[in-house]
Amino acid sequence: MKTMKKLICLGLAALMLLSAAACARDEKPEEPGTQQTDGQQPADDKKTDGDKNMGNEDKSKYRVGSQVSDAYVDPSTIDTVPEDQIKAKGYEYDYDSLTYELVWSDEFDYEGRPDDTKWDYDTGASGWGNHELQYYTRGDNAEVKDGLLTITARKEKKEGAEYTSTRLISKGKGDWLYGKFEIRAKLPYGKGTWPAIWMLPTDWNYGGWPNSGEIDIMEHVGYDQDVVHYSIHTLSYYHSIGTQKTATSKVKGASEDFHVYGLEWLPDKMIFTVDGEKTFTYEPTKYKSTPTWKEWPFDKRFHLLLNIAVGGDWGGQRGVDEDIWPQTMEVDYVRVYQSPEITAITQ
Ligand SMILES: [Ca+2]
């Protein structure tokens, strides 16, 4: 009996050791914030939904034209990060000889509602964390015709909101890790419009916003006509603490003509383009010799979002013109390519 007890004790001790080891292995990055399970930004949390919360901060300190601020490597990070936690390093590929294959697209060459095998919707009027004024309908403000997707923001009351609009999401129907994204679009016009072509994490592996990252391929606020913003947000670099990595460029006729807004997402950098011209490159090793998920959560799947927001802390910073509605964002196509060479070194 005693021996049995001893054996049981030993067994229990071994189990505890094992589970402790497993816990250590599974240990998540510190304080991942609000865990996202529905893919929506935390609409009820003004602080963590900082991207669209451009507020009244002095943006000049980190909006520096078409260049990011000076490269800086924090010496304290050198050699202090365990090797298996280092991201965005050690990928070898010949950038100039990368090839790409089309893996997903919507040319909008049909009529009616957006293809429901490709698109879903974020709906509601929560303000989306930025005091936005629109109610997002389940596709009522989106129509496909004449080769185009048209998202229309209208001045009409719905469930307490003064405006309606639609936010398309490809989540669960189009989710990718790395790739080249091209969206040909014509933007709405006028004070209070805030269109965006952007990406959010599908699985939120590193925790809620901003930990798991955000990629803004195109943002435009109507009071600053033709100035297009390109940004990434991560735990180390996000707007609320004034450290997001962002750039702007002048896109003449952004609301009159179509332009192709592009992102090339590689395992160690992101290149933003307009009509094929580079506007902004985010490369975390420019800032940290040993980036981790805090600077590069971009090794997990993301999906696309297309929307027009109305007003809000950034879009409505200089008011909302009451007389410009309805306003539309027209999208000619969304094309997603992936590179076999990149796939080969990242799988
Ligand atoms: Ca088209």
Local confidence band at 72 (pLDDT 50, 70, 90 cut-offs): low
CA of 107 to the centre of ligand 1 (A): 4
Exposure class string for 146-167: b at 16+ Cβ within 10 A, else e: eebbbbbbbbeeeeebbbbbbb
Is 55 part of any domain? no
pLDDT digits (tens, 9 = 90+) for 158-191: 999 999 999 999 999 999 999 999 999 999 999 9
Are 175 and 202 contacting, i.e. CB atoms less than 8 angstroms apart?
A: yes
Are 251 and 276 contacting, i.e. CB atoms less than 8 angstroms apart?
A: no
pLDDT digits (tens, 9 = 90+) for 183-230: 999 999 999 999 999 999 999 999 999 999 999 999 999 999 999 999
Tokens of 7: 């054996």
Amino acid at 239: H
Nearest to 51 by CA among 172, 251, 207, 198: 198
- Strands in the chain per DSSP E: 101-106, 120-122, 134-137, 142-145, 148-158, 161-169, 175-176, 179-186, 193-201, 214-219, 227-233, 245-250, 259-265, 270-274, 277-282, 302-310, 327-338
SS3 call for 298: coil
- Phi and psi of 276, rounded to 5°? 85, -10
Phi-psi group of 325: left, alpha or beta (phi > 0 → left; psi -120 to 50 → alpha; rest → beta): beta
What's residue 188's pLDDT?
98
What's residue 5's pLDDT?
47
CA of 108 to the centre of ligand 1 (A): 5
Neighbours of ion ligand 1 (CB under 5 A): 107-108, 147, 332-333
Local confidence band at 151 (pLDDT 50, 70, 90 cut-offs): very high
- What is the count of structural domains for the chain? 1
Global pTM value: 0.79
Q: Can you tell me the mean pLDDT for 249-258?
A: 98
Is 21 part of any domain? no
Q: Can you tell me the mean pLDDT for 55-80?
A: 48
Is 227 part of any domain? yes
Are 220 and 194 contacting, i.e. CB atoms less than 8 angstroms apart?
A: yes
pLDDT digits (tens, 9 = 90+) for 296-338: 999 999 999 999 999 999 999 999 999 999 999 999 999 999 9
Is 118 part of any domain? yes
**CA-to-CA distance for 281 and 294, rounded, in angstroms?**
18
Higher pLDDT, 140 or 61: 140
Residues carrying an active site annotation: 214, 219
Is 181 part of any domain? yes
Peptide bond into 297 cis (omega under 30): no
Is 48 part of any domain? no
What's residue 140's pLDDT?
98
Return the percent helix, strand and coil in the chain, to nearest 5.
15, 35, 50
What's residue 241's pLDDT?
80
Domain, as residue range, for 120: 76-346
pLDDT at 31 over 90: no
What's residue 243's pLDDT?
85
CA of 109 to the centre of ligand 1 (A): 6
**CA-to-CA distance for 161 and 158, rounded, in angstroms?**
5
pLDDT at 96 over 80: yes
**CA-to-CA distance for 237 and 16, rounded, in angstroms?**
38
Q: What is the CATH number of the domain that holds 127?
A: 2.60.120.200
Q: Can you tell me the mean pLDDT for 91-97?
A: 98
What's residue 79's pLDDT?
61
**CA-to-CA distance for 305 and 179, rounded, in angstroms?**
16
pLDDT digits (tens, 9 = 90+) for 227-248: 999 999 999 998 778 888 999 9
CA of 149 to the centre of ligand 1 (A): 8
What's residue 176's pLDDT?
98
- Phi and psi of 341, rounded to 5°? -65, -40
Averaged confidence pLDDT in the chain:
84
CA of 118 to the centre of ligand 1 (A): 15
Q: Can you tell me the mean pLDDT for 259-279?
A: 98
Higher pLDDT, 189 or 53: 189
pLDDT at 13 over 50: no
Is 261 part of any domain? yes
Peptide bond into 326 cis (omega under 30): yes
Is 340 part of any domain? yes
